[in-house]
Amino acid sequence: MQVFPKSANYWSRGSIIAGLFVLASLGWVILTIQRSDFVTQANQFIEQPVQFSHQHHVGGIGIDCRYCHTAVEVSTSAGIPPTKTCINCHSQIWSTSPYLEPVRASFRDDTPLQWIRVHDLPDFVYFNHSIHVKQGVGCETCHGRVDRMPLMLQKSSLQMEWCLDCHRNPSQYVRPRDQITTMGYQVPDGTTQAELGAQLVKAYNIAGVEHMTSCSVCHR
Amino acid sequence: MRRNLFVVVLLALGAGACRQDMHDTPRYEAYESSAFFADGKAARPTPTGTVARGWLREDETLYTGRANGELVAEFPFPVSQADLQRGRDRYDIYCTPCHGALGDGQGMVVQRGLRRAASYHQDRLRDEKVGYFYDVVTNGFGAMQGYAEQIPVRDRWLIVAYVRALQLSQHATMAEVPADRQGALDNPPPKKAETPAAH
């Protein structure tokens, strides 16, 4: 007795191909979700207790990043400024603005402003700001055009493949040390990033790919 | 067998993002809040008068700009050309917002409403001792707050050295420029392309 019609041969072969296709698609969907802003929390504005605008302070007034983030050249953490740093100017400018009342209250009562953290690497990753800044990785390279952010947001995925992109070949990104805090950095005329980057990697003694992609460099 | 494999794959996919224990270990990170301490801060303030071993500020001149209570006229250490460059670098970060790149007191923050900062190019400040400038950077003056928390001691002295260089640059004659550098003054370096846009 013949249960299956002859066309079942085609269906069975077709279903194998379709199954593979479904599996591959599923893999693609999972990977895409993993890399999406929804998972990495990149490109999302985060409300803060004070609506501090980097766009105004960096882009408008031209204050150097290190005026507030004083520890970035010497420490793992770039440093969140104490309220006193705000008061340097805001004891006089906008000193009666209701927007800045939390800042004044913080200074008066000696209680810290509780900012919402924007960039948070997993705890199993060791990251140090000072070595990156010293080796010519500009603020902008990881944090994006901060001078155009009315509210701070995370520009990069902070995922491992993103770290490795640079660790495998830093010459794509490094810039001269005196341009670290420049926003909108452009390679000088007459040279290219590939050319200048390779020179800087050599000049700054940036380690080779074997070391830079070794597990224990970041997972220590 | 195939059924087991399927279950394992499914579990691996499902369990992948369940727990964040390794992402957020119980250790404190910089600036993290703490439920344990009454003030909510994980970073503990040192008790008043704490001195780290080897960090006692015995050198009055280096740390206060004074010797026996009097402002000093000499730097407490020799200042090299590289030091002067660093002084310029630090000046550009911490001082230009108010004092301006030229030291004329017309920085961007002043243009936005802060009380006008002092110009270094006045006789009173040209005649002041270096200890005076160090003292002002450290403790503030008038509307200016002190910068002791933001700028380390040595960098404060290097800023003072650069302020001296600025004063000289605005109060010199062509005859004082070394002969081999006079030509460079006729061809100033190109200005930086990026000027901050108004917001």
- Which residues share a beta bridge with B70? B67
For the ranges A115-119, A202-206, B193-197, the lowest mean pLDDT is seen at B193-197
Instruction: Confirm or reject contact between A5 and chain B (CB < 8 A).
Output: no
In a domain, A208, yes or no: yes
In a domain, A110, yes or no: no
In a domain, A33, yes or no: no
Residue numbers of the domain that contains B98: 74-171
Residues A133-190: tens digit of each pLDDT: 999 999 999 999 999 999 999 999 999 999 999 999 999 999 999 999 999 999 999 9
Residue indicated by tokens 């790149």:
B101
Residue numbers of the domain that contains A188: 54-80+115-218
In a domain, B161, yes or no: yes
Chain A residues with beta carbon closer than 8 angstroms to that of B97:
61-63, 67, 89
Nearest to B132, CA basis, from B68, B84, B59, B74: B74
Helix (H, G, I), strand (E, B) or coil at A54: helix
Nearest to A70, CA basis, from B155, B143, B101, B40: B155
B197 pLDDT more than 70: no
B-proximal residues of A, 90-129, CB under 8 Å: 91-93, 111-112, 114, 122-124
Residue indicated by tokens 């920085």:
B107
A-proximal residues of B, 8-27, CB under 8 Å: 13, 22-25, 27
Instruction: Confirm or reject contact between A87 and chain B (CB < 8 A).
Output: yes
In a domain, B127, yes or no: yes
Cα–Cα dist A164/A178, whole Å:
25
Interchain proximity A122–B22, CB inside 8 Å: yes
pLDDT of B15 reads 64
Residues sharing a CB contact under 8 Å with residue B23, sequence separation 6 or more, in sequence order = A122, A123, A124
In a domain, B13, yes or no: no
pLDDT band with cut points at 50, 70 and 90 for residue B106:
very high
CATH number at residue B102: 1.10.760.10
Residue indicated by tokens 């150097």:
A64
In a domain, B10, yes or no: no
* Exposed / middle / buried, residue A184 (Cβ in 10 Å: 0-12, 13-18, 19+): exposed
In a domain, B189, yes or no: no
Residues B108-147: tens digit of each pLDDT: 999 988 888 999 999 999 999 999 999 999 999 988 999 9
In a domain, A168, yes or no: yes
User: How far apart are the CA of A204 and the nearest CA of chain B, in angstroms?
Assistant: 18
- Percent of chain B exceeding pLDDT 70 equals 89
B1 pLDDT more than 50: yes
Interchain proximity A93–B114, CB inside 8 Å: yes
pLDDT band with cut points at 50, 70 and 90 for residue B173:
confident
pLDDT band with cut points at 50, 70 and 90 for residue B92:
very high
Interchain proximity A89–B30, CB inside 8 Å: no
In a domain, A43, yes or no: no
Residue type, B31: Y
- CB burial string B54-79: b at 16+ within 10 A, e below: eeeeeeebbebbbeeeebbeebbeeb
- Which residues share a beta bridge with B66? B71
Overall number of domains in chain A = 1
Residue indicated by tokens 């290097």:
B158
Q: What average pLDDT score do residues B149-168 get?
A: 96
In a domain, B191, yes or no: no
Find the farthest-apart pair of alpha carbons in chain B and give their distance in angstroms, rounded: 93
In a domain, A109, yes or no: no
The DSSP code sequence of chain B is -HHHHHHHHHHHHHHTTS--TTTS-SSPPTT-B-SSSTT-BSSPPPPTT---TT-----HHHHHSEETTEEPSS-SS---HHHHHHHHHHHHHHTHHHH-TTSSS--HHHHTTSPPPPPS-SHHHHSS-HHHHHHHHHHEETTEEP-TTTS-HHHHHHHHHHHHHHHHHTS--GGGS-GGGHHHHHSPPPPPS--PPP-
Overall number of domains in chain B = 1
For the ranges A202-206, B24-28, B153-157, B178-182, the lowest mean pLDDT is seen at B178-182
Whole-number mean pLDDT of chain A? 93
pLDDT of B198 reads 47
B56 pLDDT more than 70: yes
Instruction: Confirm or reject contact between B82 and chain A (CB < 8 A).
Output: no
B193 pLDDT more than 60: no
